[in-house]
Structures are given as structure tokens and as C-alpha cells.
Amino acid sequence: MITKEEIQKVAKLARIEIKQTEEKRLAETISAVLDYMNILNEVDTSGVESTNQVTGLENIVREDEIKDCEYSEKLVKQFSKVKDDKLIVPKVFN
């Protein structure tokens, strides 16, 4: 069974807040799911072909092409922060 400490560690890594009152329930629930996964691991799948796509759809790949944007000047004029005709957006990564 998963411990409360492991629940706290996973919550910290996932950056989610959990209440102390939820820790026991989450430990039991996650332990039950992992126990079920262990049961599934016992199933013999040696004769089963791997399946990663069941609809028959395929990716459509095309070459990337640079195209002129007919509305880029309007977009640049509407944006709040611009430098050298480029849009300035907040950083995503530090």
C-alpha cells in the first residue's frame, strides 16, 4: 500500500494541494489502481500484436513552408508589446 508520505511526495511533484484528510483516501485509491495493474500484468499477451492505432487514420505529413501572413501588420499593431515588428510574450520557461 502507498504511504501518506508517498502521496505527499507525488502531490508536491504534481504541484497540487491535498488536504491531510484526503491522504488516506488517496493512498487507498491509488493502491487499489496499482493492485489492479499488477493483475493485468499477469495476463499472457505474448500472442497479441501491439496496438497503437485502431481507427486506421494516418498522419498527414507535409513540408513546412514559410508563407507571408496577410494580416501580420494588423496583428502587430494590436499587440501590447512589440520590438522590431516581433511580438513580445511572457516567458514560459526560466
Burial of 11 (0-12, 13-18, 19+ CB in 10 A): middle
Cα gap 34→22, rounded to integer Å:
18
Nearest to 5 by CA among 24, 33, 21: 24
- Confidence (pLDDT) at 26: 93
13: which 3 cell numbers?
511533484
Q: Do residues 87 and 79 make contact, with C-beta atoms less than 8 angstroms apart?
A: yes
- pTM score, two decimals? 0.48
Mean pLDDT of 33-62: 88
More confident of the two residues 1 and 30: 30
20: which 3 cell numbers?
491531510
